[in-house]
Amino acid sequence: MCILSVNVLAWEPVMELSIRLECPQCSTTLPLPLHELALGRRQTCDRCQSPVRLTADSLSRFAQDLRCYCES
């Protein structure tokens, strides 16, 4: 699932895409800005403090969500 937000800075619209990672321990969803996207990147869950990694499966789901978003 991807999130699209639009921020206005200096009168120019800036679109920022994020993806959501799911914590394997507590299933909390964590946002990850697209510009920080890197395979193996580690993030800590805000709820249970477990490490969460971006995996190839996560990237595959992101690609599928992005295709759905672009087709709508």
In this model, does residue 60 exceed pLDDT 50? yes
pLDDT given for residue 14 in this prediction: 64
Query: The whole model's pTM is what?
Result: 0.54
More confident of the two residues 70 and 5: 70
pLDDT given for residue 49 in this prediction: 94
| Backbone dihedral region for residue 49 (phi beyond 0: left; psi -120 to 50: alpha; all else: beta) | left
Q: What is the pLDDT of residues 33-56, one digit of tens each?
A: 877 777 777 788 999 999 888 778
- The residue assigned the tokens 């920022």 is 16
User: Average pLDDT, whole number, for the chain?
Assistant: 76
The burial class, CB within 10 Å (0-12 / 13-18 / 19+), for 62 is buried
Average pLDDT over residues 15-41: 81
CA distance 41 to 58: 11
Instruction: Report the run of H or E that residue 56 belongs to, with start and end.
Output: helix 56-71
